[in-house]
Structure 1
Amino acid sequence: MSARDQLLVVIDPVARRTDGESVRIAKDVLSAGAAVRVCLPDGPEDFAKALARRGARRLVVVGDDRALLRAVGTLHRERDLAGSALSVVPVGTAQTLARTLGVPSGAVAAARTVLEGAERRLDLLVDDSDGVVLGDLRIPPVGAGATGSGATVSGAADGAATGTTSVEGHAWLRTCQSFVRTLAARPARVAAPPGPSPARLRVEADGVTLVDLDQPVEGVLVTAGHGGGLAQVEVRPSSVGAEATPLRVRARTVTVSGADFRYRADAVVAGPVRTRTWTVRPRAWGLTLPR
């Protein structure tokens, strides 16, 4: 029996809890077409140990986007991505990343892809702390939360309705009180919070500064892409009045620096950091996709 016909199926604990039926279906389809060894890790440490003991078996992850990210990140840290073809059966509520990469939705279709599909080599974004990005990297603007004035309005109305007991004998005042109570019972209109403040960041692509600290930006989007060895970089400058034209380039490395900022790498929010550099690793990892 070839290595392709031998599978190590690692089932993420979140998938087992959220959709046991889809997990069972995936196991049945995979077992009908290959020699399957099932692993049920209880947490990240067990997950990493299972990957380390896979031997020549092909790795199949049954789980959501976070399980896929955990598998790729673990193999990257082991420096074993180049020799590993990864397969995934998306199970769980978070499946956006897997679908974006081309993995079919549904346990049956995804499991059949594991058995009948072909490996496709994809680019990988790797940062200077050894973190990985499979899809999108987003740096949102600095948040500036605010609370509406609804509670104050409602409280004032309640006070007006209940703070006049000494004059309840007057009919016209009772009428006014009834009117105020009616107003108080209505939902208070809450003012919309102001939008988030622009961020002041320096964004460099392959050593060339796209925006500097004197130009506020609304957001930064970096996408690893599916080949070519270059990331797509989009910077949206802040503007007053007419919307500013986004800056779009393709680059091998992207460095962002400035005041403490957070970023979202696929489904994970990281930071705050002062500076971070992401580099594209061309065709760094393999994913089994439909032929």
Structure 2
Amino acid sequence: MSAAQPPGNGAPHLLVVIDPVARRTDGESVRIAKDVLSAGSHAKICLPDGPEEFARALARRGARRPVVIGDDRALRRAVALLHREREPAMSALALIPVGAAAALELAHSLGVPMGAVAAARTALDGAVRRLDLLVDDSDGVVLDALRIPALTGAPGTQPDRTGVTAVWDTCRSLVRTLVRPAPSAPAGPPATHRLRVEADGIVLNDLGRPVESVTLTSGCGDGMAEVTIHAPGGDPMTTEAKAVTVSGADFRYRADIQVAGPVRTRTWTVRAGAWGLMLPVAEG
């Protein structure tokens, strides 16, 4: 039997960064993805032990195209790091999704194949799709959707200083509010908070009108964010804007999968086509 042939001169040069959580969660999928990538490219494999090594590996990629093996958090971390480099055209990024199903919802919504082999082949032979990015005034990024819900019983007017337990309680409360469907026939009125929402300088909601939640989605594909305001007892208000400012009493929000806050004001701006993701080539 002849030995396996090395990749040809035309094979892509990749930097494969394997998130430590992926190595612990599903080592077999990591091995399969690494084998497929190594067979079809000139791949440099990096095994960072934490966020700092992850960042250093990406920063030293040179001309290699980055491929991240990991979950949604690893994807967000990579995009945030590439964004902060302020490249005129951010490097195209590929993701091999490895992790629990709940930790891969963002990757799935963006169209990344879920299987290790299919995702690795897409990293090798896929097409770059330019995607919009929501960037806030603290340089945080949102790849898909941002939600600002009202939280019953959450410490909404003062920063949480009660320690790790209270922080986790608040995060769990926020995730439940964002993910679980509302209970049928609620015993009392829905939770609300008072927020001022401005879209491209136009006030959509002022502090005198309570809202249940505000949602921003960057997936319009035309350099605009979709803004939806849910008010109690009425139809949602929806519009599009390039910049959205939310202010009021301290509020927390969920950017993709990451809980942030509390803050009193925050502005999100759409950066059209700011990052590239390797996705399967469309048939036909």
Q: Is this a same-fold pair by TM over 0.5?
A: yes
Residue 214 (structure 2) aligns with: 220
CA distance in 1, matches of 2:122, 2:138: 33
Residue 209 (structure 1) aligns with: 203
CA distance in 1, matches of 2:90, 2:197: 34
- RMSD over aligned CA atoms reads 1.7
- TM-score in terms of structure 1 length: 0.80
Q: Given the superposition, is the C-alpha separation of residues 4 and 127 from structure 1 closer, same or farther in structure 2, using an over 3 Å criterion?
A: farther
Residue 116 (structure 1) aligns with: 125
Query: Cα offset for 1:143?
Result: 2.2
Q: Is the 8 A contact 1:141 1:199 kept in 2?
A: yes
Work out which of the residue numbers 107, 114, 131 in structure 1 matches 2:140.
131
Q: Secondary structure at the match of 2:266?
A: strand
Kindly provide the CA deviation profile for residues 45-100 of structure 1, in whole angstroms up to 9, marking residues without a partner as x: 00000001101111000000000000000111121372411000000111111111
What does 1:49-198 align with in structure 2 at a 5 Å threshold? 49-80=56-87, 82-93=89-100, 94-144=103-153, 197-198=191-192
Does residue 262 (structure 1) correspond to residue 252 (structure 2)? The answer is: yes
CA distance in 1, matches of 2:265, 2:11: 42
CA distance in 2, matches of 1:87, 1:119: 9
Work out which of the residue numbers 32, 43, 48 in structure 2 matches 1:36.
43
CA distance in 1, matches of 2:220, 2:275: 11
Q: Is the 8 A contact 1:3 1:58 kept in 2?
A: no
Residue 274 (structure 1) aligns with: 264
Q: Given the superposition, is the C-alpha separation of residues 221 and 143 from structure 1 closer, same or farther in structure 2, using an over 3 Å criterion?
A: same
Kindly provide the CA deviation profile for residues 141-195 of structure 1, in whole angstroms up to 9, marking residues without a partner as x: 13227xxxxxxxxxxxxxxxxxxxxxxxxxxxxxxxxxxxxxxxxxxxxxx8857
Percent identity, aligned pairs only, is 67
Query: Cα offset for 1:234?
Result: 0.6
Q: Secondary structure at the match of 1:200?
A: strand
State the structure with more CA Rg. Answer: 1
Question: 1:218 is aligned with what amino acid?
Answer: E
CA distance in 2, matches of 1:56, 1:78: 14
Q: Given the superposition, is the C-alpha separation of residues 108 and 225 from structure 1 closer, same or farther in structure 2, using an over 3 Å criterion?
A: same
Return the structure number with greater helix share. 1
Q: Given the superposition, is the C-alpha separation of residues 2 and 105 from structure 1 closer, same or farther in structure 2, using an over 3 Å criterion?
A: same
Question: 2:248 is aligned with what amino acid?
Answer: G
Q: Is the 8 A contact 1:120 1:287 kept in 2?
A: yes
CA distance in 1, matches of 2:201, 2:152: 28
CA distance in 1, matches of 2:26, 2:89: 31
Q: Is the 8 A contact 1:3 1:56 kept in 2?
A: no
- TM-score in terms of structure 2 length: 0.81
